[in-house]
């Protein structure tokens, strides 16, 4: 996989540091341009897997223990 690539940000989206940057688009209310930044699919899958591992259904813990376990 090539690490460096050039994109036309007006037309293409790209992934960087676990986020997807989407092209400029006009706002509905006033037509000013903005861009979207959201977590990439890979980042979301990794996050879900980590949470699932820490919150197995077979564990019976009190609420304080659950919070400490997830926040590690």
Compute the distance between CA of residue 28 and CA of residue 12 in angstroms, rounded to an integer.
20
* DSSP bridge pairs for 38: 20
Residue 14 to residue 59: CA distance in whole angstroms:
39
- Cα distances (Å, whole numbers) of residue 40 to 2, 16, 24, 29, 47: 18, 9, 18, 27, 11
Q: Is the confidence at residue 21, as pLDDT, over 80?
A: yes
**The pLDDT of residue 33:** 82
- pTM passes above 0.75: no
pLDDT in tens, 49-72: 988 887 777 667 788 887 887 787
């Amino acid at each position: 996989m090539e690490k460096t690539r050039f994109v036309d940000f007006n037309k293409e989206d790209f992934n960087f540091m676990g986020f997807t940057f989407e092209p400029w688009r006009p706002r509905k209310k006033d037509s000013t341009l903005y861009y979207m930044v959201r977590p990439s699919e890979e980042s979301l899958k990794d996050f879900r897997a980590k949470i699932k591992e820490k919150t197995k259904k077979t564990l019976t813990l009190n609420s304080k223990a659950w919070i400490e376990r997830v926040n590690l």
